[in-house]
């Protein structure tokens, strides 16, 4: 379920931006098939303990970008013809995050191999 993969961090990044990015990435990954129904705005608001208006803003921008369609009374659905660039930004973002982590590691005297091992441990702990 998509709701389980959503989580808001207090990084300085606005909540609606985080939400928009996470849903966009999930769609680009194919986690939800075209035509599939997204969780209700109210469901997301309750689950993440954020405001309905904040969710609405994220959903509205996803619709503006052509990723989802909103229909009052019915719900929100994945578009059947998603834009190509949906998947493009994911790799860029991942590379940027990896480089950031590498910088932190170097400053702490941690090698890339040790960081990789730590990531593997984290993955195993789930």
Partner DNA sequence: TGTATTGTATGGTAAAACTCATACAATGGC
Partner DNA sequence: GCCATTGTATGAGTTTTACCATACAATACA
Per DSSP, the residues of 103-118 read HHHHHTT--HHHHHHH
Subset of residues 91 to 110 that bind DNA, contact rule: CB under 7 A? none
3-state secondary structure string, 5-36? HCCCCCCCCCHHHHHHHHHHHHHHHCCCCCCC
Complex with DNA: residue 50 or 86, whichever CB lies closer: 50
User: Which does residue 46 touch among DNA, its own copies, none (CB within 5 to 8 A, set by kind)?
Assistant: none
Subset of residues 7 to 36 that bind its own copies, contact rule: CB under 8 A? 7-9, 11-14, 16-18, 21-29, 34
Compute φ and ψ for 29, nearest 5 degrees. -80, -15
d(CA 68, CA 55): 14
User: Which does residue 59 touch among DNA, its own copies, none (CB within 5 to 8 A, set by kind)?
Assistant: DNA
Overall residue count recorded for the chain in this entry: 126
Q: Does 14 bind DNA (CB under 7 A)?
A: yes
Subset of residues 104 to 123 that bind its own copies, contact rule: CB under 8 A? 104-123
Query: Smallest distance, Å, CB 79 to its own copies?
Result: 6
Q: Does 88 bind its own copies (CB under 8 A)?
A: no
Complex with its own copies: residue 40 or 79, whichever CB lies closer: 79
Residues 6+ positions from 55 with CB-CB distance below 8 Å? 16, 19, 41, 42, 44, 45, 48
Question: How many residues sit close enough to its own copies to count as binding (CB under 8 A)?
Answer: 63
């Amino acid at each position: 379920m998509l709701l389980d993969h959503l989580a808001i961090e207090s990084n300085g990044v606005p909540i609606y931006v985080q939400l928009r990015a996470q849903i966009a990435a999930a769609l680009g990954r194919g986690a939800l098939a075209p035509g599939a129904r997204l969780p209700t705005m109210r469901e997301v608001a309750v689950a993440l303990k954020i405001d309905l208006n904040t969710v609405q803003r994220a959903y509205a921008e996803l619709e503006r970008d052509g990723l989802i369609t909103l229909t009052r009374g019915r719900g929100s659905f994945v578009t059947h013809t998603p834009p190509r660039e949906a998947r493009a930004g994911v790799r860029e973002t991942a590379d940027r995050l990896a480089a950031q982590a590498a910088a932190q590691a170097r400053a702490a005297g941690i090698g890339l191999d040790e960081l990789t091992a730590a990531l593997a441990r984290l993955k195993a702990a789930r």
